[in-house]
Structure 1
Amino acid sequence: MNNEYSFRLARPEMANAIWQILEEAIQRRKSDGSSQWQDGYPNLAVIQQDIQRKAGYVLLDGDQLVGYCALLIDDEPAYQHIQGAWLSDQSFVVFHRVAISNKYIGKGIAQQLLLHIEAFAKENDILSIRADTNFDNKAMLRIFEKLGYQYCGEVVFRGSSRKAFEKILS
């Protein structure tokens, strides 16, 4: 993990800057031909709710905001109805809304963010990380493959079927 980057809870005053990064990511998904995030979700209210629930996390390069995600522990109702099977039935961290600043695209920052999520899980004595993504989000699918996430099946999230992945940490 690159020690230049810090990972911590987002603060309420960061909401607009986080939303700007998500807007960039929404546009990138569209440019990539993905249908993910093209329906008004996520939005600023979702980010504000993440922060209020203490689920919003930021990746910083010094004081520069470079990435965002939402982290939850054992809290994703859609995952109870997987078409397939999870690798484990233990406690898990789930991440959503991974977004990287346009200024940092192509620098491996999404991988850095996922490595910080792994460290967060271990700090909380959790050895399972779960996530889902659109079938057409090629960038995230490559990262999952590169970091050893295993495809477990499909979940329905907000009315759409999505690929579900899990990684068991050691």
Structure 2
Amino acid sequence: MSSEFTLRKATNEDQDRIWEILQQAIKLRKQDGSSQWQDGYPNAGVVQQDINQGYGYVLLSEGQILAYVAVIFDGEPAYQELEGKWLSNQEYVVIHRLAVAQDIKTKGTATFVMKEVETLAIARCVYSIKVDTNFDNKGMLRIFEKLGYEYCGEVHFRGGARMAFEKLLNKK
């Protein structure tokens, strides 16, 4: 699978396609009966901020963008207020705003992106990934379980509780 996909930093030229993918994901979350991403977030301004700060990444296959993700090595302030306990207090990377194109169907795309973030983290000598999602985001919850993420408690974003997970990576 890795030979056909490439994860790279997003550029301003990618912004329209990223926003298109995010809108598809927002619509899918609504169809699934979820309240996640139904409040005007994420939006085009958030994508621009991700790109400007170097957080935005796109997954490409044959020159087409299939997925978007924000990969943040600067921490997440909301994670300091965890109701629960993290597995570690070490430096970590955060994954936010993972969205996969719905107009080009590929299997395992989100899982591949998550694994690529592990590779990015290890390359920077960061051995912890922290993530969160809505309680009703069954797709992401399945991916977290499949990839060995452990439930650590709840965090709060924009007034809502979200499930928080951590995965410790092996030093190579």
Q: TM-score range by the shorter chain?
A: over 0.9
Aligned to 2:15: 15
Q: Which residue does 1:29 correspond to in 2?
A: 29
1:118 is the counterpart of 2:118: yes
Kindly report which structure 2 residues correspond to 1:71-150, keeping only aligned pairs within 5 A, or say none.
71-105=71-105, 107-150=107-150
Hey, what does 1:44 align to over in structure 2?
Answer: 44
Closer, same or farther in 2 for the Cα pair 1:105/1:148, shift >3 Å?
Answer: farther
Separation in 2, partners of 1:106, 1:46: 26
Aligned length, in residue pairs = 170
Q: How far apart, CA to CA, are the structure 2 residues paired with 1:108 and 1:76?
A: 27
Gaps of 5+ in 1: none
Please give the alpha-carbon distance, in whole angstroms, between the structure 2 residues aligned to 1:129 and 1:33.
Answer: 28
What SS is found at the alignment partner of 2:103? helix
Work out whether residues 12 and 51 of structure 1, in 8 Å CA contact, stay in contact via their aligned partners in 2: yes
- Aligned identity (percent) is 54
TM-score, length basis structure 2: 0.96
- 2:104 & 2:128 partners in 1: Cα distance? 27
Match of 1:55 in 2: 55
Distance (Å, rounded) in 1 between the aligned partners of 2:3 and 2:106: 18
Q: What is the CA distance between 1:20 and its match in structure 2?
A: 0.1
* Aligned-partner SS, 2:58: strand
C-alpha distance in structure 1 between counterparts of 2:104 and 2:168, whole Å? 28
Q: Deviations over 1:138-165 (max 9, x none)?
A: 1100110011000000001121100000
Which letter maps to 1:150?
A: E
Aligned residues of 1:67 and 1:100 also touching (Cα < 8 A): yes
Aligned equivalent of 2:4: 4
Residue identity matched to 1:20: E
1:129 alignment partner, SS class = strand
Please say if residues 7 and 60 of structure 1, whose CA atoms lie closer than 8 Å, have aligned partners that are also in contact. yes
TM-score, scaled to structure 1: 0.97
Does the 8 Å contact 1:6/1:62 carry over to 2? no
AA partner of residue 50 (structure 1): D
Please state how far the C-alpha of 1:105 moved relative to its aligned partner. 4.2
The letter of the residue matching 2:153 is G
Deviation at 1:104, TM superposition (A): 4.2
Q: What value does the CA root-mean-square deviation take over the aligned residues?
A: 1.0
- 4+ long deviations beyond 2 Å: 103-106
